[in-house]
């Protein structure tokens, strides 16, 4: 009798031995916080359509604004709410709905999800690898406690949830060349530890409560019109800015440090594709995605083809180098390609051309003014 009561408490039926989805619902309180009437909502009409209603957390970082642009093109401007704890620049504020949201404030998160009838959540808030090592307790709070809030609100409101993971979820004892989806994961940064935790918690909530959790492990992402937020792969963004502006670049990683990288357009398209993939095509809930892999000296060689006077020098940052030395050199993304048809568009030459075109045209505009 006692045994049956224990089974019931954890949601197991003694007859079939299977799980029933008892939700980890928190105490239902009413948040005193209301979304102000003058918040920058563009009179979203939430009439029922086939479109998801989307919330992006941590949306003012390197990737969030680009994701919002892509999703708004697909689902309509008012269907996608960008959120962050920072003040948005004018062009972002006027480009579509923006709202303040601190992921450490659970009631505020729930209020936003309920009031806007959110159905898809892209969880981008995080402290990245290098900045996380400089502030471990904040990284632990944002990346782990914040994730718990996101998981709970997602399961409570039946959201489809995307959480990005990273090459940083692997460590020096993982196979590094190539790194498959399933292998040893013993990262040595708080960022990596928090991302392994996110992968495992998301998958657990999927199997335990039926949460529609989807996760991609991104490589280092390279973008032209947004700045990276304190990672180990940041050099591969800064190099283009310095090459066009100064004709030279000081790199904080060693010349032969090989890491997987991806152009932002590929990254955001992969994110939308995995979110739209039919559930039955997903044999896993966490996938590696990859495009290219290069070292600083290989990247510099490619830049040199366009900027003949370009010079690279090295001034290695010990923290970033130690992190990079434990990360994958090449990423095996064959499961993503097989299951939901992932295919990248940008290899190294196309990436360099796209980045230099952007920065070159910016520089020409600046010189003309
Ligand atoms: N950029 C990359 O190369 C890369 C690679 C792999 C994975 N990722 C993942 O993609 C996601 C987005 O990356 P990014 O490069 O845009 O990151 P970023 O560091 O540029 O931006 C993160 C955002 O989170 C916000 N944030 C911090 N604390 C918050 C809080 N308490 N509540 C709400 N927001 C908060 C910050 O204000 C910032 O705008 C992250 O989860 C990151 O781990 C990024
Ligand atoms: C790789 C990725 O997670 C991030 N750009 C970092 O370097 O921390």
pLDDT tens string, the chain, 369 residues long: the values are 444 444 344 444 434 344 555 666 564 444 333 333 333 333 333 344 579 999 999 999 999 999 999 999 999 999 999 999 999 999 999 999 999 999 999 999 999 999 999 999 999 999 999 999 999 999 999 999 999 999 999 999 999 999 999 999 999 999 999 999 999 999 999 999 999 999 999 999 999 999 999 999 999 999 999 999 999 999 999 999 999 999 999 999 999 999 999 999 999 999 999 999 999 999 999 999 999 999 999 999 999 999 999 999 999 999 999 999 999 999 999 999 999 999 999 999 999 999 999 998 766 555 665
Cβ of 260 below 6 Å from ligand 1: no
**H or E element that contains 286:** strand 286-288
Strand pairing class (259-263; 292-294): antiparallel
Q: For tokens 């709970």, name the residue.
A: 152
Q: How far is CA 331 from CA 91, 135, 220, 293, 299, in A?
A: 36, 28, 11, 8, 18
Nearest-CA residue for atom 1 of ligand 2: 220
> Do 118 and 159 form a contact (C-beta atoms < 8 A)?
yes
Q: How many angstroms separate the alpha carbon of residue 113 from the centre of ligand 1?
A: 20
Cβ within 8 Å of residue 135, ≥6 positions away: 127
Cβ of 328 below 6 Å from ligand 2: no
What is the dihedral sign for C-alpha 343, 300, 67, 279?
A: positive
Mutational pocket test of ligand 1: of 55, 56, 57, 58, the residue with most ligand atoms within 8 Å of the beta carbon: 58
Nearest-CA residue for atom 4 of ligand 2: 231
Query: Could you say which DSSP state residue 142 is in?
Result: I
62: which 2 tokens? 């390197």
Q: How far is CA 66 from CA 69, 89, 266, in A?
A: 5, 14, 11
Which residues on neighbouring strands pair with residue 336, listed in sequence order? none
Return the ligand 2 atom nearest residue 327 CA. 1
Residues recorded for the chain: 369
Give backbone dihedrals phi and psi of 242, rounded to 5 degrees, phi first: -70, -35
Active site residue 106: no
Cβ within 8 Å of residue 175, ≥6 positions away: 183, 184
Catalytic residue among 191, 209, 235, 287: 191
Cβ of 126 below 6 Å from ligand 1: yes
Cβ of 86 below 6 Å from ligand 1: yes
Q: CA geometry: angle at 118 spanning 116 and 123, to 5°?
A: 120
Coil vs helix vs strand at 308: coil
Q: 125-366 in CATH: which number?
A: 3.40.50.720
Cβ of 143 below 6 Å from ligand 1: no
Q: How many CB atoms lie within 10 A of CB 27?
A: 6
């Amino acid at each position: 009798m006692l045994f049956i009561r224990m089974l019931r408490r954890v949601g197991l039926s003694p007859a079939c031995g299977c799980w029933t989805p008892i939700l980890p619902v928190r105490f239902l309180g009413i948040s005193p916080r209301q979304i102000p009437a003058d918040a920058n909502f563009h009179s979203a009409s939430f009439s029922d359509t086939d479109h998801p209603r989307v919330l992006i957390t941590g949306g003012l970082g390197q990737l969030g604004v680009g994701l919002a642009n892509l999703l708004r093109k697909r689902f309509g401007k008012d269907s996608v709410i960008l959120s962050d704890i920072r003040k948005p620049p004018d062009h972002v504020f006027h480009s579509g709905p923006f709202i303040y949201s601190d992921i450490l404030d659970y009631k505020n998160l729930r209020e936003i999800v309920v009031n806007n009838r959110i159905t898809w959540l892209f969880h981008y808030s995080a402290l990245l690898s290098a900045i996380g090592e400089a502030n471990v307790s904040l990284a632990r709070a944002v990346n782990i406690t914040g994730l718990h809030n996101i998981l709970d609100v997602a399961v409570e409101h039946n959201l489809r949830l995307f959480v990005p993971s990273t090459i940083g979820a692997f460590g020096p004892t993982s196979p590094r060349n190539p790194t498959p989806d399933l292998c040893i994961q013993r990262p040595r940064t708080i960022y990596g530890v928090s991302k392994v935790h996110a992968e495992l918690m998301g998958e657990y909530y999927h199997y335990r409560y039926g949460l529609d959790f989807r996760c991609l492990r991104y490589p280092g992402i390279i973008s032209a019109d947004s700045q990276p937020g304190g990672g180990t792969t940041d050099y591969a963004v800064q190099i283009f800015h310095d090459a066009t502006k100064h004709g030279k670049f000081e790199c904080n990683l060693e010349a032969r440090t090989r890491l997987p990288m991806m152009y932002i357009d590929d990254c955001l398209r992969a994110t939308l594709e995995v979110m739209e993939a039919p559930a039955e095509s997903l044999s896993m809930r966490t996938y590696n995605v990859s495009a290219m892999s290069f070292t600083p000296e290989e990247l510099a060689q490619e830049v040199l083809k366009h900027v003949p006077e370009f010079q690279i020098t090295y001034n290695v940052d010990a923290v970033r180098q130690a992190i990079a030395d434990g990360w994958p050199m090449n990423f095996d993304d064959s499961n993503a390609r097989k299951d939901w048809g992932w295919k990248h568009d940008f290899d190294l030459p196309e990436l360099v051309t796209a980045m230099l075109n952007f920065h070159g045209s910016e520089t020409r505009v600046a010189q003309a003014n």
